[in-house]
Chains A and B, each alone.
Chain A
Amino acid sequence: MSIQEGIRMAWLSLAGNKLRTFLTMLGVIIGVAAVIALVSIGQGATNEVTSQVQSLGANLIVITPSMSAGVRFTVDDAATIAARVPELAQVMPVITAPVTAQYGITSYDTTVQGVTESFPVIRDFPVAFGRFFSAADVQDAANVAVLGQTVSSQLFKGLNPVGRTITINGQPFQVIGLLTTKGGSLGQNQDDLIAIPVTTAERLVRTRYVAAIYAIPKSADLSAVAVGHLENIFQHQYQNDQAVAVLAQDQLLSTVNSVTTTLTLMLAAIAGISLLVGGIGIMNIMLVSVTERTREIGVRKALGARRRDVLQQFLVESVFLAGVGGVIGILLGVGGALLISGLAGWATRVSVGSVLLAFVFSAAVGVGFGLWPAMRAANLNPIEALRYE
């Protein structure tokens, strides 16, 4: 029997029992769709988190004192750290405080960040319009502000804010620049801030203490050395490795990546199990089908079908079940992934690799789980098969 003839036979038999064919396929459809959708979501989440972490600033090192360990940093500590760790190119103290900004009768609650002129470089966060404040502005504790996009649009509703005067907690500030759009990161809107000189912030919110110290190394390769150096210093100083948290962006990135990759693999494994169950469904139905059609097999053998012909006939059926189920599953999986990204605003990425993997796997399921029933059919003794009731 030719392959073409085999496909025709398989089609006749599958089309003859549509409900059963559909239900058998459903197992594979759900399995393949689950593999693709879950892997897409996993990869999308990985990409999202990675880009968010990267958006914090390339090679950023964040030094955070632990309040519970009784450690607090002031602005002067930033200069001390800069002097003691030669691997660092720039060090910047950050004072963070909630404030109310007002322009005319419009007021808006936001966060002020007291930083230095290094901010655009350290945070990889340039101005879109106007200028950032200078070292002199920091020195003088000038009342100048650079707005994030969200703050600007809330206060100015599309007007150009540069050159206008706003009040922050009642004190007048001149807006000298507007930051670029950065988007959200790890659940925070990074555009919802006002940057002012750290010296001005000390006065405005009446504090000497900084929330964190940001730094960047002289080169990317020095990041690990710098972190090691910093940890050494703080360990020595406080005799407590919990006192100060030193976190490098690339470390964070690799940690986050390994977590999300594990998560993606776990999702894929769960989905893979459902695909396996679908394959067992195919095997089950094919075994039932072989038993039901014992007489047919006997007739075919009497008419001259060889073992190979019978094997091929049943194998084509199971591969067809798995193959068509696989294709439908791919369409559903891709559709599901797009739907989730549309509804939940969650980035998904359908990779060619996951689609290909799912399809090859489902075809393999068809051959693998179809082989045993097909061999049982092929090995039937024609005399006994013809006598089967």
Chain B
Amino acid sequence: MIDLQHVTKIYGQGDVRVTALEDVSLHVERGEMVAIMGPSGSGKSTLMNLIGCLDRPTTGKYVLAGRDVSTLNDNQLARVRNREIGFVFQTFNLLPRLNALQNVELPLVYRREPRAARVRKAMAALEMVGLGERMHHHPNQLSGGQQQRVAIARALVGEPSILLADEPTGNLDSRAGEEIMAIFQELNQQGITLVLVTHDERVARHCRRIIRVLDGRLVGDEPVTAPLRAVPVHSDQEAAQA
């Protein structure tokens, strides 16, 4: 699914050249659940931007879902992001003026899907994360955990090849974080490929494989023998609070 071959990323030119990633090769199969770990400044954000097709490698090759995306132009990359990547951000990044349903519709809007199909798919995605009752709420009417679930629905709605989550539990309390991890594990069970970027060892241990990045290099790649099971909490209590 993800195939990085000797990827190097260099920022700046001349004296201010910074090598953010050096000769990274990484292979992620369909259906995997992988955590990418590393302290800040390690290059894990750069790695995530490359995997998410927000950026191009300086040298090396990136094959995503069977297609070489390392030399695409901006518009082609936008199209790949739209089709193949589902982003989940630490700060949720829902658009405040749109309600939950409209937020989830967004990837399909940029795919020029007809409105009826868009609404149907967005509703299904929201049902999937347990927010069928709150489709018309705006982000400020939702709790952090609920907002992150809307963001997950938005990432899922376009049926991407991979779900790419950047510190998805970083802004949540432990209970809401647990709930999000439960959803991720459930999605993974259904066969969705997940890549989580985190510096939280506990979050990483929910995955089945941990990749460690330090100083722009991969320094570890180990399977997790006994992944932690997140206890799926249903949102009733939370709904009552909100």
Residue ranges of A at the interface with B (Cβ–Cβ < 8 Å): 1-2, 5, 12-13, 16, 295-296, 298-309, 382-383, 386
Binary per-residue interface labels of chain B (73-107) against chain A in the complex, 1 for a CB within 8 Å, 0 otherwise: 01100110111000101000101011000000011
Which of A303, A306, A382 touches B106 (beta carbons < 8 Å)?
A: A303
Contact of B82 with A382 in the complex, beta carbons under 8 Å: no
Contact of A306 with B93 in the complex, beta carbons under 8 Å: no
User: Could you say which residues of chain B place their CB within 8 Å of the CB of A382?
Assistant: 54
Contact of B78 with A305 in the complex, beta carbons under 8 Å: yes
Starting from the known contacts A303-B87, A304-B107, 13 additional A-B residue pairs (CB-CB under 8 Å) come to: A1-B109, A13-B97, A299-B89, A301-B81, A302-B52, A303-B106, A303-B107, A304-B82, A304-B83, A304-B111, A305-B78, A305-B110, A307-B75
Which of B49, B74, B75, B81 touches A303 (beta carbons < 8 Å)?
A: B81
B203: shortest Cβ distance to chain A, in Å? 20
User: Could you say which residues of chain A place their CB within 8 Å of the CB of B78?
Assistant: 301, 304-307
Is residue B55 contacting chain A, with contact meaning CB distance below 8 A? yes
Restricting to B94-144, which residues have a CB under 8 Å from any CB of A? 95, 97-98, 106-107, 109-112
Binary per-residue interface labels of chain B (50-86) against chain A in the complex, 1 for a CB within 8 Å, 0 otherwise: 0010110000000000000000001100110111000
Is residue B154 contacting chain A, with contact meaning CB distance below 8 A? yes
- Measured CA separation A304–B55 after assembly (Å): 13
Residue ranges of B at the interface with A (Cβ–Cβ < 8 Å): 49, 52, 54-55, 74-75, 78-79, 81-83, 87, 89, 93, 95, 97-98, 106-107, 109-112, 154, 158
B112: shortest Cβ distance to chain A, in Å? 6
User: Could you say which residues of chain A place their CB within 8 Å of the CB of B154?
Assistant: 303
Contact of A306 with B75 in the complex, beta carbons under 8 Å: yes
B72: shortest Cβ distance to chain A, in Å? 12
User: Could you say which residues of chain A place their CB within 8 Å of the CB of B97?
Assistant: 12-13, 16
Q: Which residue of A lies closest to B46 (CB)?
A: A383
- Measured CA separation A309–B75 after assembly (Å): 10
Query: Considering the complex of A and B, which 3 residue pairs feature the smallest CB-CB distances, nearest first?
Result: A304-B82, A304-B110, A306-B78
- Measured CA separation A298–B82 after assembly (Å): 13
Which of A16, A307, A386 touches B74 (beta carbons < 8 Å)?
A: A307
- Measured CA separation A298–B166 after assembly (Å): 15
- Measured CA separation A382–B49 after assembly (Å): 10
- Measured CA separation A304–B77 after assembly (Å): 8
Contact of A12 with B111 in the complex, beta carbons under 8 Å: no
- Measured CA separation A382–B98 after assembly (Å): 20
User: Could you say which residues of chain A place their CB within 8 Å of the CB of B112?
Assistant: 1-2
- Measured CA separation A386–B75 after assembly (Å): 18
Contact of A383 with B54 in the complex, beta carbons under 8 Å: yes
Contact of B109 with A306 in the complex, beta carbons under 8 Å: no
The verdict on A302 contacting B54 (CB below 8 Å), with A1-B109, A309-B110 known, is: yes
Contact of B89 with A386 in the complex, beta carbons under 8 Å: yes
User: Could you say which residues of chain A place their CB within 8 Å of the CB of B81?
Assistant: 301-304
User: Could you say which residues of chain B place their CB within 8 Å of the CB of A304?
Assistant: 78-79, 81-83, 107, 110-111, 158
- Measured CA separation A383–B87 after assembly (Å): 13
Contact of A299 with B109 in the complex, beta carbons under 8 Å: no
B165: shortest Cβ distance to chain A, in Å? 13
User: Could you say which residues of chain A place their CB within 8 Å of the CB of B49?
Assistant: 383
B101: shortest Cβ distance to chain A, in Å? 13
The verdict on A299 contacting B79 (CB below 8 Å), with A1-B109, A307-B74, A386-B89 known, is: no
Q: Which residue of B lies closest to A293 (CB)?
A: B95
Contact of B95 with A299 in the complex, beta carbons under 8 Å: yes
Interface centre among A16, A298, A301 (most CB of B within 10 A): A301
- Measured CA separation A1–B52 after assembly (Å): 21
- Measured CA separation A5–B113 after assembly (Å): 11
- Measured CA separation A12–B95 after assembly (Å): 11
- Measured CA separation A5–B106 after assembly (Å): 10
- Measured CA separation A255–B239 after assembly (Å): 80
Q: Which residue of B lies closest to A309 (CB)?
A: B110
Contact of A299 with B93 in the complex, beta carbons under 8 Å: yes
A14: shortest Cβ distance to chain B, in Å? 10
Q: Which residue of B lies closest to A16 (CB)?
A: B97
The verdict on A296 contacting B95 (CB below 8 Å), with A304-B81, A306-B79 known, is: yes
- Measured CA separation A13–B97 after assembly (Å): 7
A219: shortest Cβ distance to chain B, in Å? 72
- Measured CA separation A298–B110 after assembly (Å): 14
Contact of A295 with B93 in the complex, beta carbons under 8 Å: yes
- Measured CA separation A30–B93 after assembly (Å): 38
Q: Which residue of B lies closest to A2 (CB)?
A: B112
B155: shortest Cβ distance to chain A, in Å? 9
User: Could you say which residues of chain B place their CB within 8 Å of the CB of A309?
Assistant: 110
- Measured CA separation A305–B74 after assembly (Å): 10
Which of A1, A13, A296, A302 touches B87 (beta carbons < 8 Å)?
A: A302
User: Could you say which residues of chain B place their CB within 8 Å of the CB of A296?
Assistant: 95
- Measured CA separation A192–B2 after assembly (Å): 98
Would you list 17 pairs from A and B whose C-beta atoms are within 8 A, ordered by A residue?
A: A1-B112, A2-B112, A5-B109, A13-B97, A299-B89, A300-B106, A301-B54, A302-B52, A302-B87, A302-B93, A303-B154, A304-B79, A304-B83, A304-B110, A306-B74, A306-B75, A307-B74
User: Could you say which residues of chain A place their CB within 8 Å of the CB of B75?
Assistant: 306-308
User: Could you say which residues of chain A place their CB within 8 Å of the CB of B158?
Assistant: 304
Q: Which residue of A lies closest to B86 (CB)?
A: A303
Q: Which residue of B lies closest to A295 (CB)?
A: B93
A135: shortest Cβ distance to chain B, in Å? 87
User: Could you say which residues of chain B place their CB within 8 Å of the CB of A299?
Assistant: 89, 93, 95
User: Could you say which residues of chain A place their CB within 8 Å of the CB of B52?
Assistant: 302
A207: shortest Cβ distance to chain B, in Å? 85
User: Could you say which residues of chain A place their CB within 8 Å of the CB of B87?
Assistant: 302-303
User: Could you say which residues of chain B place their CB within 8 Å of the CB of A386?
Assistant: 54, 89, 93
User: Could you say which residues of chain B place their CB within 8 Å of the CB of A12?
Assistant: 97-98
Q: Which residue of A lies closest to B114 (CB)?
A: A2
A274: shortest Cβ distance to chain B, in Å? 31
